[in-house]
Each structure stands twice: as structure tokens, then as C-alpha cells.
Amino acid sequence: MKIVFLDSNTVGDVDLSPIKELGDYTSYEYTADDEVVDNCKGADIVISNKVYLGKEVMDKLPELKLICVAATGTNNVDLDYAAKKNILVKNVAAYSSMSVVQHTFALLFSMMHSVGDYDSYIKSNDYSNSNSFTCMNYSYDELSALTWGIVGLGDIGRNVAKLASAFGANVIYYSTSGKNSNPDYKSVSFDELLLNSDIISIHAPLNDNTYDLFKYDSFKKMKKSAIIVNVGRGGIINEVDLAKALVDNQIKGAALDVFEKEPIPLENPLLAVEDKKKLILTPHIAWASVQARERLIKGICNNISQFYKSNI
């Protein structure tokens, strides 16, 4: 069967040879919207990370039988229409959970401990010229003295909660679906989470319950000393309101790995926040540890192999 990977560059330098061995393989580093149909012509199987596959595309690809999403989320596929066309859609669940958990703490600790500022302090030679063995310019708290609020207690959220608890933090959570229940942690309303948390980390999917969940009024309810970390989806935080909240000192800081539009547009107000210490931004790479990407490719290969077996 003919296999086409529409945006192979999104998985970096991971070995793709296991996929290549499964069929007549073609890959494109990137595929623009107006190139999708041409790049997919004759394909039985299409692999896509971020390229959108909707009704108009599927109608022009009569051979298409399987869409492999190179991610956990499937919002880049019109799932209802794929089902009507008898096109199977398979994702790879939970392959990046521990990678995202680890990056959550990397973002938080970089901000809490002012790592970049202290690094610059030494490299500027100010430390060498100081008469003190230490520097107290930037203070930090122990997690054991803080309350960590988690939005979304799925696989990633539970693992963050587990590690936060190991540091001694008081963990509370808000279930955006209302379905998650975990006796190990205290479930609270959204307003309670905002009022009581020193740290809020977001691990929820983007849907009707979570879009624009954090607006200016939300930030006004948070502690002035609070830090928010978003490794979920960009649209969960209203970025215009977050920028205003940071400028107005409604919260201490924000660390974001995801944005409503990616790559982040130059006109995004977050980029105009003058006090850069209040904001840490990374380009949607929380999921992308070497091991996570290897698991992703393995999962894609497994989905294709299972498809072959079911169609023999």
C-alpha cells in the first residue's frame, strides 16, 4: 500500500525507517493546505501531525483507507466525515505523557528559581566581582509550602500531581469534564482553584468546556504571587487577557508551551510584555523528548500493521 507522511519534519530527526518498511513510502517535510490533495494522490494511508484533513480533501482521495495521526489529539481530522467515508482514523495515545510532565516542571522551576537571571548574573562577571559568596536578588519558595492546582486530571495531570505531592505540595484539581474523580487529591470548583492555588498547571484538551477558560476575570481572582503553566492547548488561555494580567501585575508569571495559533504570530501581545521575567515561552516541545518521539513512530507502525492484519 502507498503510505504518505505529510509533515515528517514535525517529528524531528527520529528514525522513520520502520514506517518506510511497511509500504510504498513518500514523505514531505511540510505540506501547505493547497498541496494536501496532490501530495496524497493514490495514498491508501496518510500520516499527519498537524495538516488538516477535512471533507474536501477526503472527497478527492478515493483510495484513502487509513489516517494515522502522529499525535494524541485528533483535532486535525474531520472524524465524523471520515467515519461516513469508512476511513479509519488512528492516533497514538499517551506516548508523550512523561515528556510533558517533565517539561511542566522544567518550565516551573526555570521561572520559580530565576535560573536564567542567576546564570546571566554569573556570566556577566558580576558574581566574580562581588564580595559575597551568594546572591539574593531573586527569591524562591519551596513547593512544600505551596498549593498546586491542576486543571485536567487525566494521565498527564495525575503524574504531575504525583510528583508535585512528592515535593510536598498541597495538590488540588479541577475536572473540566466533571467526570474525573480521584480520592488522592481534593477536587475543587474552578473559582476555588483560582483563589487557592500558588501554581496552576493546565493539562486539559481544548473543547467547548475549556476554550477561553482563563480570561482576565480569572487572573484577577488568582493570587498576585501565582504562576500559571500551560502545556495543554493554547486556546484554553485567552492570550490577550493573559498579557494584560501580566502587565497589570494580577499574577506573578506564566510559562507556556502552547499557543492558540502556532507558530506564535509576531503581533501576539505576549511578545510585547516588557518585563520578560514574567514570561517563559517554549515552542510546543513539551511532547518531544527523544523517547516520546520513538514511541510515537512505534505506535504509528503498530496502527498500520494492525490495519494490514484486519484487511487481509
The pLDDT value recorded for residue 311 is 85
Whether 233 is catalytic = yes
Rounded Cα–Cα distance for residues 158 and 203 (Å)? 9
Could you say which of 233, 239, 260, 295 is catalytic? 233
Q: What one-character DSSP code corresponds to residue 118?
A: H
Diameter of the chain by CA atoms? 76
Return the closest-CA partner of residue 4 out of 82, 64, 71.
Answer: 64
Question: By three-state DSSP, how is residue 108 classified?
Answer: helix
pLDDT in tens, the chain (312 residues): 999 999 999 999 999 999 999 999 999 999 999 999 999 999 999 999 999 999 999 999 999 999 999 999 898 999 999 999 999 999 999 999 999 999 999 999 999 999 999 999 999 999 999 999 999 999 999 999 999 999 999 999 999 999 999 999 999 999 998 887 899 999 999 999 999 999 999 999 999 999 999 999 999 999 999 999 999 999 999 999 999 999 999 999 999 999 999 999 999 999 999 999 999 999 999 999 999 999 999 999 999 999 999 986
Q: Is the pTM of this model over 0.75?
A: yes
Vertex 111, ends 164 and 175: CA angle to 5°?
Answer: 40
Whether 293 is catalytic = no
The pLDDT value recorded for residue 272 is 97
The pLDDT value recorded for residue 72 is 92
Note the Cα 72 to chain centre separation in Å.
10
Whether 113 is catalytic = no
Rounded Cα–Cα distance for residues 299 and 44 (Å)? 18
The pLDDT value recorded for residue 152 is 96
Where do the domains of the chain lie, and which CATH numbers do they carry? 2-94+290-310 (3.40.50.720), 97-281 (3.40.50.720)
- The 3-state secondary structure of 197-263 reads CCEEEECCCCCCCCCCCECHHHHHHCCCCCEEEECCCHHHECHHHHHHHHHCCCCCEEEECCCCCCC
